[in-house]
Amino acid sequence: CKILRCNSEYVAATLHLRGPDRGAAFCTALRSYSLCTRRTARTCRGDLAFHSAVHGIEDLMIQNNCSKEGPTAPPRPRPAAPNPHGFESLDICDYERSFLYKHGRPPGFQHCAAFGDPHIRTFHDDFHTCRVEGSWPLLDNDYLFVQATSSPVAKGSNATVTSKLTIIFKNMKECIDQKVYQAELDNVPAAFQDGSVNGGSRPGGSSLAIRERSPGRHVEIRADYIGTTIAVRQAGRQLSFSIRAAEEVARAFTEEQDLQLCVGGCPRSQRMSRSPRGRGRVPAETAQALCREMLPVEDVYFQSCVFDVVTSGDTNFTMAAHGALEDARLFLPDAEKLHIFQ
């Protein structure tokens, strides 16, 4: 059964296809993948990886509105001298490719975000508004540690915003050296703390890289060795954090690592209602009109935007909620979960 070859050809063809513009090329790759599985059907009919791949292709074609008829790509040439494990040694630092090779299907992904007051969208699509002040872990697992430091949004207010983010990419064998990224208000660098922009001198160093999306305002960190992408933004006087993490990575923690806002949300004692009480700094009707311009769907992102503008008086919070929604649109594996209504 040569299903692993079909898997690796599909991964190679889609490796660099990202975001909403991947359409036609992605469909071509899926049709090629389907053709490859049909050619191996006779010898693979008793193989679980084969059946998993067939069902996975059908689901992906439906999700991406791909027609079954259309162009296919020619098979990619095999490496001249594969190693004894059957795939190139550097593939160990390409999580998605390695996972597909081993399991015969693409990995699953989860999304978490922290923005504004802060508002937390957990990996399980729960949504909380927190009054957390000081430093709290968003993530604490075998691969990543992410800590957010919050301070009051305004004098005398219970609401807080993220003013500092610390992200530690933990040392991983031949892939990367440990790297620390730190962002503070008015300092969102496009480099790690040691001045580097990748994972270091190890063979898979390029599998961790920083890219500046908007100077001083928005960076993206791709950690391909763990199938993870992180976005850090500044809008007004607050920082926001968004992550798309492989399920296996998001779950890689012990019982002792029990406080992670991305996993369990904020503790009950720290949760706030998104219905501001008392006199706000901006009338609710004004805040709603401002937020509706950026967020036409009145979901939790819209509610959060209204809460933040009323509480802080800072209209830049409309950009914070809008940025978080755009990250979710890009990072969420299931587009139907984009909007949350409470």
Distance between CA 104 and CA 92 in Å, rounded? 16
Confidence of residue 86 (pLDDT cuts 50, 70, 90): very low
DSSP letters spanning 27-62: HHHHHHHHHHHHHTHHHHTT-HHHHHHHHHHHHHHH
Q: Is 145 helix (H, G, I), strand (E, B) or coil?
A: strand
| CA 62 vs CA 27, 30, 103: distances in Å | 10, 11, 21
Q: How far is CA 91 from CA 146, 200, 324, in A?
A: 26, 17, 31
What integer is the mean pLDDT of 171-191?
93
Given this model, what pLDDT does residue 183 score? Answer: 97
Return the number of other C-beta atoms located less than 10 Å from residue 67's C-beta: 8
Q: Which residues touch 84 (CB under 8 Å, ≥6 apart)?
A: none
pLDDT of residue 325: 96
104 band by pLDDT with thresholds 50, 70 and 90:
confident
**Among residues of the chain, what percentage have pLDDT more than 70?**
91
Query: pLDDT tens digit string along 219-249?
Result: 999 999 999 999 999 998 899 999 999 999 9
Looking at residue 85, its pLDDT comes to 43
* pLDDT (average), residues 314-319: 91
pLDDT digits (tens, 9 = 90+) for 136-166: 999 999 999 999 998 887 666 666 889 999 9
pLDDT at 90: 40
pLDDT of 156 reads: 67
Tell me how long the chain is: 342
Phi, psi of 149 (to 5 degrees): -110, 125
The domain spans of the chain are 2-64, 109-270
175 CA to centre of own chain:
20
pLDDT band at 80 (very low <50, low <70, confident <90, very high): very low
Does 327 have pLDDT greater than 70? yes
Residue 53 has pLDDT above 90, yes or no: no
Provide the pLDDT for residue 258: 81
Query: What is this structure's pTM?
Result: 0.74
The token duo for 12 is 């190679």
Residues 6+ apart with CB under 8 A from 288: 306
Note the pLDDT of residue 24: 83
Q: Is the pLDDT of residue 110 over 80?
A: yes
* Domain 109-270 class, CATH top level: alpha beta
Token readout for 29 is: 């790759």
The yes-or-no verdict on residue 107 having pLDDT over 80 is yes
